[in-house]
Amino acid sequence: MSTGSPPTPLEAGRLEELAELLSGRRVVALSGAGCSTESGIPDYRGPTSARRSRSPVRYQEFMARPEARRRYWARSFFGWPSFAGARPNAAHRALADLEAEGVVVGVITQNVDGLHQAAGTRSFVELHGSLSRVQCMGCRADLPRDGFQELLESSNPDYRAGPGPLAPDGDADVTPEESAFRVPDCDRCGGILKPDVVFFGESVPAETLERSWRLYETGDVLLVLGSSLEVFSGRRFVLRASKEAKPLAVVNAGPTRADPVARVKIDGRLGDVIPRLAGALRVGSRV
Ligand code: NAD
């Protein structure tokens, strides 16, 4: 995506249109990877996103094949320091301000990076889970990802992870010597340890989906931020909004699957547009 370009007059007009649409309405935001690119976490489908050397691991493969788990955790091991070090950007902060002012009632996020919460967003659902936790697929015990990193380190003394190139979902686009990487199993039951995120080929847990719908229903308008909506999991909210004739707006750099039904679409950079939107709605934002 392009960054830093000054807004065109058309975009400025669109910003007013967007502020008018949101004004006096309860806004539920649906956010995606585009919210976090300005924090240094790449997306999958931006116009200039780097093509990945490999496609993300699928759930069935991860569960069935020890080599797939070794590959996933080796790459995650190298990517974690950069991912964990990412900080909220101006868009996350302005969105949290909009919530504090009562404009935004909550955020349904497809992101797994925790940056909305880190910025101060209080009402949110992590539709696809969080990379900050690891879960045992046997006994369902939870452990923090930071602690698991230490365990990976002590199990692999010949490997050293440090800040480096980051790929979407927090792994690293490097090819470490994966075949020798050792992945610990659950120390309670010997079960498979998996990051607490929804992999491709896996469904969103029913309870998470219920919470998402409850949050969706509290809004009078759905605001899509930084998501191509190519993944059905996020697009389902747009489909329902469209069916219910609930107003819908999009801020995204490049096309999204919601563009044909959006009342307002701003093609722009979130770190620029959301603070200006907050300003237009007279919210003091911390840029
Ligand atoms: P996507 O990659 O399909 O789409 C991101 C969109 O955001 C693109 O259209 C891109 O052009 C746009 N964009 C990028 N930077 C932007 C910016 N600064 N301002 C405005 N727009 C910007 O992402 P998605 O729709 O969220 O789907 C990806 C899936 O992968 C999600 O389900 C998510 O779970 C996962 N994912 C998460 C993260 C994360 O947690 N940060 C990162 C990558 C992927």
Full set of structural domains in the chain with CATH: 1-41+87-128+204-287 (3.40.50.1220), 51-85+131-197 (3.30.1600.10)
Which range is least confidently modeled, 36-40, 65-69, 152-156, 280-284?
Answer: 280-284
Tokens of 125: 């659902």
Which range is least confidently modeled, 71-85, 160-174, 190-204?
Answer: 160-174
Atom of ligand 1 nearest to the CA of 233: 32
pLDDT of amino acid 167: 58
pLDDT of amino acid 102: 95
- Which of 193, 98, 177, 189 lies closest to 145 in space, CA to CA? 193
SS3 letters across the chain: CCCCCCCCHHHHHHHHHHHHHHCCCCEEEEECHHHCHHHCCCCCCCCCCCCCCCCCCEHHHHHHCHHHHHHHHHHHHHHHHHHHCCCCCHHHHHHHHHHHCCCEEEEEECCCCCHHHHHCCCCEEECCEEEEEEEECCCCCEEEHHHHHHHHHHHCCCCCCCCCCCCHHHCCCCCCCHHHCCCCCCCCCCCCEEEEECCECCCCCHHHHHHHHHHHHCCCEEEEECCCCCCHHHHHHHHHHHHHCCCEEEECCCCCCCHHHCCEEECCCHHHHHHHHHHHCCCCCCC
Where is pLDDT greater, at 49 or 82?
82
pLDDT of amino acid 282: 78
Residue with the nearest Cα to atom 16 of ligand 1?
A: 34
Distance 31 CA to ligand 1 centre (A): 8
- Name the pLDDT band for 59 (thresholds 50, 70, 90): very high
Confirm if 148 and 80 have CB atoms less than 8 A apart.
Answer: no
- The answer to whether residue 235 scores a pLDDT higher than 60 is yes
Rounded to an integer, what distance in angstroms lies between the CA atom of residue 109 and that of residue 47?
21
Binding site membership of 31 for ligand 1 (Cβ less than 6 Å): no
Binding site membership of 231 for ligand 1 (Cβ less than 6 Å): yes
Q: What is the mean pLDDT of residues 233-255?
A: 97
- The answer to whether residue 139 scores a pLDDT higher than 80 is yes
Binding site membership of 40 for ligand 1 (Cβ less than 6 Å): no
pLDDT of amino acid 84: 96
Binding site membership of 230 for ligand 1 (Cβ less than 6 Å): yes
Binding site membership of 227 for ligand 1 (Cβ less than 6 Å): yes
Atom of ligand 1 nearest to the CA of 251: 20
Calculate what percentage of the chain has a pLDDT beyond 90.
79
Distance 111 CA to ligand 1 centre (A): 8
pLDDT of amino acid 178: 63
Where is pLDDT greater, at 149 or 49?
149
* Mean pLDDT, all residues of the chain: 89
pLDDT of amino acid 47: 59
Distance 106 CA to ligand 1 centre (A): 19
pLDDT of amino acid 11: 63
Residue with the nearest Cα to atom 11 of ligand 1?
A: 46
Atom of ligand 1 nearest to the CA of 226: 7
- Residues identified as active-site: 128
Q: What is the mean pLDDT of residues 103-111?
A: 98
Rounded to an integer, what distance in angstroms lies between the CA atom of residue 241 and that of residue 201?
25
Q: What is the mean pLDDT of residues 266-284?
A: 90
Distance 68 CA to ligand 1 centre (A): 24
Distance 49 CA to ligand 1 centre (A): 10
pLDDT of amino acid 54: 61
- The answer to whether residue 202 scores a pLDDT higher than 80 is yes
Binding site membership of 111 for ligand 1 (Cβ less than 6 Å): yes
Q: What is the mean pLDDT of residues 92-98?
A: 98
pLDDT of amino acid 169: 62
pLDDT of amino acid 56: 84
- The answer to whether residue 284 scores a pLDDT higher than 90 is no
- The answer to whether residue 52 scores a pLDDT higher than 60 is no
pLDDT of amino acid 285: 44
Q: What is the mean pLDDT of residues 166-171?
A: 60
Binding site membership of 46 for ligand 1 (Cβ less than 6 Å): yes
Tokens of 192: 């498979």
